[in-house]
Amino acid sequence: MDDTDTEQSSPVRTSKLAVIGPLAFLAAMAQGNLGLGLLFHARDALLASKAQTGLLAGIWFLAYMISCHLFRPLSHRLRPRFCVLGASFVLAALTGLLAAAPSLGSAYLLNGLLGVAAASFWPPLMGWLSANAEGGQLSRRLGAFNVCWSSGAILSPALAGWGSEIFSWLPLVVSAGLYLAAGLLLALAVVALPGIGGDDDAHEREQRGVAQEPGTDGTPLRFPAWVGVFSTYLVAGVVLNVFPMAGRTELHLKASDVGCLLLLRALATSFGLGILGRTAWWHFRGWQMVGTTALLGGSLLWLGSAHSMAGIGLALVAAGALSAFGYVNSLFHGAVGSSRRVGRMAIHESLLSAGLCCGASLGGVVYQRVGITPLLTGCAVLMGATASIQLALLRACRRPPTGC
């Protein structure tokens, strides 16, 4: 019996995946809606400058990155589903408070606490998803998960743009409701579906530090993949947090127009994640990391030179599709062959958030001084340098267990 038959015949895993998918969808929609909505709310209601708005977004990513590592011992003690359950309700409460924040200082504090709470949601959820799966089965699970969260991310930019044109705080209230719905869904599943705890043996093995395959710790391809995901999401931090400001001030776009442009990017990313989750040609192939990283740099040069809605939209579609490679390479090559799944997911998430933090905060400062075109040109140069580093790391690989 192959791994496909095994997974399809297991009601434990089926019920678990049926819960994790909707959770990822709701949380990603809440997070994306909150991220873009907060940018508009900070500018319109809290009167934040460009640099202050970038810093506000960067605080979330910094808090998330640090907390992913600080909370790893906690995730080893608690079952992943209970970490996710508690985090969902905390995220809902903090987001509701953020909608009522009276000053920029209180918004900084609450957004930082939201980053801390999110670190108890995503890595445990992803570790729970990948428990007791390897190879093609792991890739299919991660592919389905990626489609779920990216589907939520698709809807969030347009939702935030339209909501912000009604009331600046409305996207934040909607996000609080989405987090609350995620918590209630998981609470109901814990009570009604006791089988979702059927992978607790994997959590117990991780607590003891017992590898699923003694003598191996995965593939060294995780190292160029991790370099790639950091740079990819640094660029994403610029696109998601700085480009909306440029669209409003330099291109004179409405908030809903900016939301629709970012919706196109999210659609392209989701499509790329879906295709990569259903194919295996990219597994353990280092050349595709280098190539797609370099092409992402080219798409940024295109975005920086585009001035029409059509040109900007096409450039964002290209950047979104290519960003999917950076994400899935880090997720798959970091997890495959390792029993420390929650820890590896924490590394993936912390690198991702470190890139987003740098892109949002530093990008906002650079944009305020030089404008959007030089900023995007610098990001393209960064992606070229990243491709060179990845190539050097690939050449340094020496007979990895699964190929390099």
pLDDT digit string, tens, across residues 91-141? 999 999 999 999 999 999 999 999 999 999 998 898 888 777 777 788 888
Please compute the mean of the pLDDT values over residues 295-308 and round it to a whole number: 95
Residue at 387 is within a domain = yes
Please compute the mean of the pLDDT values over residues 288-310 and round it to a whole number: 96
Cα–Cα separations (whole angstroms), residue 180 to 50, 186, 321: 31, 10, 31
Q: What is the mean pLDDT of the chain?
A: 86
276, 143 Cβ separation under 8 angstroms: yes
Q: What are the structure tokens assigned to 394, written together?
A: 């690939």
Residue at 269 is within a domain = yes
In terms of pLDDT, which residue wins out, 116 or 207? 116
Amino acid at 89: F
In terms of pLDDT, which residue wins out, 351 or 55? 351
> Could you report the per-residue pLDDT of 262-289, keeping only the tens digit for each?
989 989 998 999 899 889 999 999 999 9
CA dihedral in degrees (340, 143, 37, 62; nearest 10)? 20
How many C-beta atoms surround the C-beta of residue 190 within 10 A? 17
Q: For residue 131, what pLDDT is reported? A: 76
Domain residues for the domain of 388 are: 10-396
How many structural domains comprise the chain? Answer: 1
For the whole model, what pTM was predicted?
A: 0.78
> Could you report the per-residue pLDDT of 320-337, keeping only the tens digit for each?
999 999 999 999 998 887
Residue at 308 is within a domain = yes
Q: How far is CA 1 from the centre of its chain?
A: 34
Residue at 335 is within a domain = yes
Residue at 83 is within a domain = yes
| Rounded Cα–Cα distance for residues 341 and 343 (Å) | 5
Residue at 402 is within a domain = no
Q: What is the CATH number of the domain that holds 343?
A: 1.20.1250.20
Q: For residue 70, what pLDDT is reported? A: 82
Residue at 50 is within a domain = yes
> How much helix, strand and coil, in percent to the nearest 5, is found in the chain?
80, 0, 20
Q: What are the structure tokens assigned to 242, written together?
A: 């700085």
